[in-house]
Structure 1
Amino acid sequence: MNLCRTLFALSFTSVLVACSLPNSAQSDRVSEPELTQAALPSAGLQLKIIHINDTHSQFDPSPAKFNAASGQPVYTFIGGHPRLLTEARRLRENAAAAGLPSLFLHGGDAFKGSAYFELFEQKINIDILNRMQLDAMALGNHEFDIGLAKLANFAEEINFPLLAANVDKSAEPLLAQVKNLKPYQIFVLNDNQWVPEQQWLAAQQAEQQMPSSQRQALLTSSAAVPVRIAVFGLALEDMRAMVPSTGALVFEREITAAQRTVDYLTQQGIQHIVALTHLGNQRDLRLAAAVNGIDVIVGGHSHTLLGDFRQWHLGLQGPYAERVTNPDGQQFTCVVQAGQFAQAVGALTVKFDKQGQVSECQGKNTLLASKALFGNALRQADSQLSGNSLTATLAYLQSLPNTRITEEDTTLRQVIDEVYLPALQQAYGEQISSTEQTIPHVRLPGTGGSDQHGSVLAGHIADAMYNWLNSAQVQPLLAGPVDFSLIGAGNIRSSIEAGAIYEGHIRLEVLPFDAPLSVLTVTGADVLALLEATIAATLPEGAHAGKFPYSSHLRYTATERLDGSLQLTEVAMLREGNWQAIVPEQQYRLATTNYLANGNDGWQRLQQVQQHSTDRQDLILLNGQPKAYAVKRVLASSDAKGQTAFQVEYAKEALPCGNDGADCKTAAQAMIEYLRANPELWHRARTPTVTLYRN
């Protein structure tokens, strides 16, 4: 049996590494002598890093389109975990044939984003990801979405480590004893394969029939200690401001923790260090420019598909394997990320010189395409290409840059279809609408093939929120009508594909979060400050764009100046058919999700206006009927590392989300009812309310 597969099947009970690395860089790891580079080739180490990120439980392929040589659109499918597995295995085998050891890394956010996750939560990710033969994964923010107990279960059951060197879990009882959630993983080069260090030590110990107490002697007596590489993780330092359920975890500053960890690992004689992060491409570039000693950063969080994918209507983003000079001015760090939703795989070749410094890094992201091609967006059997047309289009598809036609792994496809798909199909409920064209969602206008108005779907969802809250059923619960609604792009997790639209498409895919709707009074100045802060934060290259605001009955134009700053103009509210400019001193009734109303994801202005008191109402469905819960105020608190979290204080009773009869997916329900009342919605043009011009 392949050694790597054998090792992946072993438990991690022999972990020697501390589950949190204190500032003093002390660890309960066995002290070891400085290791030599005896096993290195004369030119230095070379390795392949295979990577994915932000898969968001997208186990099935995603619909996509490209333009054929004739210019006509062709519709197909891309990605999905069975294709990821096929491509990762191919890359591993090719690397091994070329004499390159390989690592397969996940940049975090395996949770949330598909109907599979809504039904099976962490259990399906444990099952599927354990079959992927990953070497390590970063701790993403969405891994917190279903609570710490289920995160702990995920970390305990996966057969690869979950890494975060800047997370102190010692005070959090649900995670403190989870050994597989740790700062870093050290790998040993053994027979041209990377083996977890603790397993290599155990194997050497057993081979020499030496008790664990003599492990130090084993290392000291080794004639040639193998080459090692360390992979350490970084989670978002502002996690507490993004997710509500972080318990007693403490999140350290990313740059501080990274330099401390690198220094510690270097002191242990490790010359090759990879940071596996879930920070976003912009922060990764900043990290590389601020920390000495990181060779490669494999990232996630911003869903950045580095490279040119304009032929897939996925845009042109930053360069793959961008080299960033470290503060010492002598070394550089290579930065990579591989998009989203299991659509692409990154493959990076890294070369080191004899001193252990990176001398070269190159590679690319590859989008994984199906060979099933269709002539229209419905992708029905009667529109599937065949014969000469199929042959010619497949040849053209295969010639596209950064693209590979990839078959699904049949065993993994069978597992998904037989174990999980039947329940999924049953959960979709009634048909509420249909569309002959995809209704796209992009986070930032101008990306993903969109124009300056961005997401068509987000505007419709904001309209649905506005209409539901102003309906005769809901208005008696509120102090007055809602003036306008806002929703963050990250609240929306998928587009709506062509075809029949069922309830499950909305509740399980598009708006899967428990997202009660909130209504509160704010001033025009608050609205202007909120828009400016959230939009400006999304503009830098590689920035996390989930906070970008889409609107209903509120329109604005945002223009990026040449210096990168933001100019906000034409901010107006629609009242009785007329657009009226927002007046800073005037009060307005704003609706959004309670996640954003609490100040999360960069919407801190809303928390600030509720710091002392608020008239806010949070709305859910209780036994099928709308019910409002009054909020007294929203407090901000800081942990030991100065990271902020927000706590809602309700006037009487808190939201009963998770209890029987309580449906907190209010945003989803508003959209479902809106579509029921307007099934032909997609055939009517919507006047854009958001306009963003880039320099």
Structure 2
Amino acid sequence: MPNVTPITLSIAHINDTHSHFEPTPISLAVKGLEDRIYANVGGFARISSVVKSFKQEAENDTDGFLFLHAGDCFQGTLYYSLFKGEANATLLNMLNLDAMALGNHELDLGNAAVSKFLDQITFPFLAGNWDVSRELPNKEFPVKGKAPLLPYDSELKIASVLTKEFGGKKVAIFSVALDKMADIAMPDPDTPFVNSKETIINTVKYIHEEIGTPHIILLSHLGYDQDLKMAEEVEGLSVIVGGHSHVLQGDFSNLGLGDMGPYGRQINNTLVVQAGCHSLALGKLTVSLDEKGRVTSHNGGNFLMLGRSLAMDASWDQSLPDKVFQTAKAYLLEQPNVIHCRGDDAVKDVIAARYRPAVEKLKSDVVTNLPARLRHIRVPDDKGGSEIAPLVCDAMMYSARTRGHAVDFAIHNAGGVRVSLEQGKLTAAEVAGRLLPFAIDLMLYKPTGLQVMQALEGAINNATNNSVEGTGDGSFPYTSGLRYTYEGNKPKGSRITQLEYQTLDGSWHAIELDKHYVAVSSAYTSQGKEGYDSLKNMSECPYSIYVTLADSFIEFARTKDILLAPEQSLQNYFSLT
């Protein structure tokens, strides 16, 4: 390696923004006030303003400035439900990122969504352990060869590296994401993810030998615990800028938001930082590295970005009395982890002109009225199961059949439904923004009866940790046109003791294990995630009917009478013993 001199960098960083382009109301504790108050926090316009200011400061105090995003911009709000990756591309371009990492939610809809995103962005998109080298030709929406993408180099067995130079001093940046991406997202089968740790080790060695710099930044979407582990086990990383686990490093107990420990965890010679989620905070780091890339000093923090307005509640219907407002404002102005700022007008104008009108329309679009509260619970308890998840399955059946598909039954995982619903008006915004916020397609697939039986048992085993180490109770299956009995005390593999489907005439018939059926599920479930493993091995690949979960429920709620009392619209769809 040639002679290398120390370097001091300023790094602005965000992660897991999840389409939170506008400020989010959150409650804050204020010393001297008995009740918490609400402030609109964060948003892209404020991020843009603060980053510009930080960059100006850096020009005088450091060798160089970087603005990095550690992945997961997709999903999260109505802006994504309505505009998918296009709004993210437009607004992230306006932030002038130096680089962004691929997150798992970018692949919720497979490679096609990423391909379209790559066509629209103007910044490097790092995906260092994503091997796209064998992507099948003639895809309508390929990712291989797209200019912004820096994927895994299968020949050198390293991540593609982004090199930035500041006054002759080189900084190398690369990324990795979760190895088991296929378990929680939907990358196309011809573009697998390779081992992240091996990729990191090989890439660090390559950077030292071929690029000739020890100043190395890993842009990680592994999660905080894994970032700390990489810092401990892999030599040669200067800074890890992380995401995925939504950790807001720093002590925010002064605002009633808890204490996640100091900003910047240094392990050996590597510094690990992460900046929460949902565009609430911006990480501002100044770090000095010696001639071997080791951290010698660092300072900075995560900062919540606030505007002028404060309120008594999240709806902003109740303003603060003047004395309370003045007390709260004075206190917040004194806090070292709060930045008061005006948002970038250009960003605000684009949001207001191109995107917000459609969001506001959804908020005023009432799709039905609910005569009673509908309870959602993942795993049934002594009060019964979810009252909403079976309706979501009914909606899937309705959407598929009205499009001409002869569907036998629907299955949906409980975790795909996010909230209970209160009595009264149900708006399209409530459905797409809170009830079914994951903008993923409905898929048709043709399992055998045996695969259905195995999927149901596997999902329940996973949800209840019955003979397996499960991944969470979100896998619990709800159905329409299908009913079953699960006996948890039976040997593994024989716990579904009754399994029937309903024909169009309303009669129930036993599922034949060797017969193929037509089912509809979300893209997530149909791909065999979280206990539904048997669905991975179907003779035909699932195919989309080009309607999302939320859109399906909205059209069902408009045209089908779910004004019935909940007990009238639900069937006895399962039995647990």
TM bucket normalised to smaller: 0.7 to 0.9
Aligned pairs for 1:1-12 (under 5 A) are none
Sequence identity (%)? 27
Q: 1:480 to 1:185 in 2, by over 3 A?
A: closer
Partner secondary structure for residue 372 of structure 1: strand
Q: 1:376 to 1:674 in 2, by over 3 A?
A: farther
In the alignment, is residue 531 of structure 1 matched against residue 464 of structure 2? yes
1:463 pairs, out of 382, 387, 390, with 387
Preserved CA contact (<8 Å) 1:166 1:257: yes
Aligned to 2:157: none
- Aligned pair count? 506
CA apart distance, 1:663: 5.5
Aligned to 1:298: 241
Aligned pairs for 1:488-567 (under 5 A) are 488=415, 491=416, 502-508=427-433, 510-514=436-440, 516=442, 520-521=452-453, 527-532=460-465, 549=474
Distance 2:466 2:524 in 1: 13
Aligned pairs for 1:84-233 (under 5 A) are 84-172=47-135, 173=137, 174-182=142-150, 183-190=160-167, 226-233=168-175
CA apart distance, 1:517: 9.2
In the alignment, is residue 424 of structure 1 matched against residue 359 of structure 2? yes
Distance 2:559 2:333 in 1: 42
Preserved CA contact (<8 Å) 2:363 2:427: yes
Aligned to 2:281: 344
Partner secondary structure for residue 376 of structure 1: coil
Aligned to 1:6: none
- When normalised by structure 1's length, the TM-score is 0.63
Q: 1:124 to 1:666 in 2, by over 3 A?
A: closer
Partner secondary structure for residue 316 of structure 2: coil
Aligned to 1:487: 414
Q: 1:634 to 1:126 in 2, by over 3 A?
A: closer
Aligned to 1:541: none
In the alignment, is residue 77 of structure 1 matched against residue 10 of structure 2? no
* AA matched with 2:489: V
- Superimposed CA distance per residue, residues 453-495 of structure 1 (whole angstroms, 9 cap, x where no aligned partner): 999xxx9994301355589x98x9998999xx8523xx46899
Q: 1:672 to 1:395 in 2, by over 3 A?
A: farther
Q: 1:170 to 1:431 in 2, by over 3 A?
A: same
Distance 2:113 2:556 in 1: 29
In the alignment, is residue 280 of structure 1 matched against residue 223 of structure 2? yes
- Superimposed CA distance per residue, residues 629-656 of structure 1 (whole angstroms, 9 cap, x where no aligned partner): xxxx532xxxxxxxxxxxx545xx9544
Preserved CA contact (<8 Å) 1:463 1:552: no
Aligned to 1:450: none
Preserved CA contact (<8 Å) 1:122 1:154: yes
CA apart distance, 1:156: 4.0
1:413 pairs, out of 338, 348, 353, with 348
Preserved CA contact (<8 Å) 2:110 2:186: no
Distance 1:146 1:432 in 2: 26
Distance 1:355 1:529 in 2: 46
Q: 1:468 to 1:237 in 2, by over 3 A?
A: closer
Aligned pairs for 1:620-635 (under 5 A) are 633-635=535-537
Distance 1:300 1:132 in 2: 18
Distance 1:589 1:314 in 2: 48
Gaps in structure 2 of 5+ consecutive residues: 151-159, 479-484, 501-518, 567-577
Preserved CA contact (<8 Å) 1:104 1:135: yes
CA apart distance, 1:188: 0.5
Partner secondary structure for residue 159 of structure 1: coil
Q: 1:427 to 1:305 in 2, by over 3 A?
A: same
2:184 pairs, out of 242, 255, 258, with 242
- Superimposed CA distance per residue, residues 585-609 of structure 1 (whole angstroms, 9 cap, x where no aligned partner): 54277999645544655x1x321xx
CA apart distance, 1:534: 12
In the alignment, is residue 583 of structure 1 matched against residue 489 of structure 2? yes
Preserved CA contact (<8 Å) 1:134 1:160: yes
- Superimposed CA distance per residue, residues 234-263 of structure 1 (whole angstroms, 9 cap, x where no aligned partner): 122222333334252232100001111110
- Superimposed CA distance per residue, residues 153-211 of structure 1 (whole angstroms, 9 cap, x where no aligned partner): 42243222111222222222422221321122101013xxxxxxxxxxxxxxxxxxxxx
Distance 1:460 1:56 in 2: 33
Aligned to 2:265: 322
Aligned to 1:657: 545
Gaps in structure 1 of 5+ consecutive residues: 1-33, 191-225, 326-331, 442-452, 539-546, 554-574, 611-632, 636-647, 682-695
